[in-house]
């Protein structure tokens, strides 16, 4: 053996390594659901930056969401709705409270149970009614249904049926905004089932690495369609998944509209300051089936009734507003009456609007200022 060769049995000293601090799981439970004493009625957190006027506006959005959905169900039963109806009954506070924390130029990408966030972004009930009835005056001109449409100018990206895919789409929006030096935040919603998809993880990982100003709200409502959460994920809290991406996670009471606003506001401030992505888990409950045709036979007896009686988000907020003397019962009834007048007018407008012309389907597939319609029937050649 040559004298300059080291013995195979010689112990080598480890060389210098790049030291990276271990990630500490950062999950905030400040706004998480709290246990209450037997016989007490749930309310909302009192520590808030909201003004009384803003709280009453939140109440209006909550009532608007629930009453619009009730009207859509009535239209559905009259066979005036095309396709399915997907309600947010029991979890309206999550969408309304979170979207209210954004600026008008910020972006959202909701899923089918986030109608409240769409209203906060400035979409009118008449547009929702016309969309559900596939009318020509609807946002998509009858080409699609329910909330499958978008308003780029209002910061509303339409949902994608393949759950989880909205996350990478929103990362693209935010990366493009950064390149254009636009100071915007993106808020994406996903269900507990959708957060188990590969697209969710890919989008979250990219956003975390790039420190994009993305906020993702996982609406943990106990069921992924008909599958209980415990049967499709091993984690106890969806917020624990934040550790996989090295980002902060929050748990919030999804039926407390004030808590949803405050935790999202905190996340928005974090993201807008250049500190990166945030994951929020909103613990709530879906009191209707996946869609109106779902009879919920997979739900244990009495479960829906319990949530309706003890943890309804609108009942809780009404109690808060009355207890804090922000409004009296007469004021709340006046807001509800005003909402009903708007719904009646907008529903009538949508019902009286025309159905789309068949040849309209060939337009809007591509940018028709650049390319001709996708298919040119003879009726358009004359």
The pLDDT of residue 162: 85
Residue 204 to residue 245: CA distance in whole angstroms: 7
**Partner residues linked to 186 by β-bridges:** 107, 214
Residue 230 to residue 222: CA distance in whole angstroms: 8
The pLDDT of residue 161: 83
Count CA atoms within 13 Å of residue 102 on its CB side. 29
The pLDDT of residue 85: 94
CA dihedral 123, 125, 127, 132 (to 10 degrees): 120
The pLDDT of residue 366: 84
The pLDDT of residue 256: 98
Pick from 105, 137, 132: which is nearest to 121 by CA? 105
Neighbours of 244 (CB within 10 A): 13
Pick from 270, 304, 313: which is nearest to 95 by CA? 313
Provide the strand spans (E) within 51-103: none
Q: Measure Cα distances from 138 to 23, 64, 377 in Å.
A: 48, 19, 24
Pick from 174, 182, 179: which is nearest to 277 by CA? 174
CA dihedral 116, 65, 291, 89 (to 10 degrees): 100
Phi-psi domain of 299 (left: phi exceeds 0; alpha: psi -120 through 50; beta: other): beta
Count CA atoms within 13 Å of residue 328 on its CB side. 1
**Partner residues linked to 151 by β-bridges:** 156
- State the pTM of this model: 0.90
What is the 8-class DSSP label of residue 218?
E
Cα of first residue to Cα of last residue in the chain, in angstroms, is 94
Residue 133 to residue 117: CA distance in whole angstroms: 21
Helices 92-99, 52-77: axis angle to 10 degrees equals 130
Residue 247 to residue 204: CA distance in whole angstroms: 10
Provide the strand spans (E) within 16-158: 27-31, 107-109
Query: What does each of the 382 residues of the chain score in pLDDT, given as a tens digit?
Result: 444 444 444 444 444 444 544 545 579 999 999 988 877 889 999 999 999 999 999 999 999 999 999 999 999 999 999 999 999 999 999 999 999 999 999 999 999 999 999 999 999 999 999 999 999 999 999 988 888 898 999 999 988 888 899 999 999 999 999 999 999 999 999 999 999 999 999 999 999 999 999 999 999 999 998 999 889 899 999 999 999 999 999 999 999 999 999 999 999 999 999 999 999 999 999 999 999 989 999 999 999 999 999 999 999 999 999 999 999 999 999 999 999 999 999 999 999 999 999 888 888 888 888 988 877 656 555 5
Q: How far is CA 311 from the centre of its chain?
A: 20
SS in 3 state form for 16-29?
CCCCCCCCCCCEEE
**At which residue do the structure tokens 């998944």 appear?**
241
Cβ atoms of residues 292 and 87 within 8 Å: yes
Retrieve residue 258's tokens: 């004030």
CA dihedral 73, 78, 82, 87 (to 10 degrees): 10
Residue 267 to residue 272: CA distance in whole angstroms: 9
Main-chain phi, psi angles of 182, to 5 degrees: -100, 135
Pick from 131, 130, 137: which is nearest to 112 by CA? 131
The pLDDT of residue 14: 47
């Amino acid at each position: 053996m040559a004298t300059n060769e080291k013995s195979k049995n010689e112990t080598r000293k480890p060389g210098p390594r790049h030291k990276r601090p271990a990630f500490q799981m950062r999950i905030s439970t400040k706004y998480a659901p709290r246990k209450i004493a037997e016989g007490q009625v749930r309310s909302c957190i009192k520590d808030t930056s909201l003004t009384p006027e803003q709280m009453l506006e939140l109440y209006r959005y909550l009532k608007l969401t629930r009453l619009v959905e009730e009207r859509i169900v009535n239209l559905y039963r009259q066979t005036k709705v095309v396709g399915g109806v997907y309600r947010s009954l029991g979890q309206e506070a999550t969408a309304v409270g979170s979207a209210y924390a954004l600026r008008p130029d910020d972006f959202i990408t909701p899923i089918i149970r986030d109608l409240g966030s769409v209203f906060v972004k400035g979409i009118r009930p008449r547009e929702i009614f016309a969309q559900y009835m596939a009318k020509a005056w609807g946002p998509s001109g009858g080409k699609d249904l329910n909330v499958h449409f978008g308003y780029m100018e209002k910061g509303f990206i339409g949902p994608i049926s393949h759950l989880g895919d909205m996350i990478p789409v929103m990362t693209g929006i935010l990366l493009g905004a950064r390149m254009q030096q636009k100071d915007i935040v993106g808020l994406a919603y996903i269900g507990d089932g959708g957060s188990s998809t590969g697209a969710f993880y890919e989008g979250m990982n990219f956003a975390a690495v790039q420190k994009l100003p993305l906020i993702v709200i996982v609406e943990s409502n106990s069921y992924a369609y008909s599958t209980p959460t415990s049967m499709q994920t091993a984690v106890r809290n969806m917020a624990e998944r934040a550790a996989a991406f090295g980002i902060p996670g929050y748990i919030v009471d999804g039926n407390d509209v004030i808590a949803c606003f405050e935790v999202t506001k905190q996340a928005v401030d974090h993201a807008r300051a250049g500190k990166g992505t945030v994951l929020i888990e909103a613990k709530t409950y879906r009191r209707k089936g996946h869609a109106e045709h779902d009879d919920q036979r997979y739900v244990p007896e009495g479960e829906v009734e319990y949530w309706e009686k003890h943890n309804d988000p609108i009942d809780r907020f009404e109690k808060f507003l009355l207890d804090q003397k922000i409004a009296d019962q007469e004021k709340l009834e006046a807001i509800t009456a005003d909402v009903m007048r708007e719904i009646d007018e907008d529903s009538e407008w949508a019902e009286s609007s025309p159905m789309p012309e068949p040849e309209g389907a060939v337009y809007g597939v591509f940018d028709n200022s650049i390319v001709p319609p996708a298919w040119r029937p003879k009726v358009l050649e004359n």
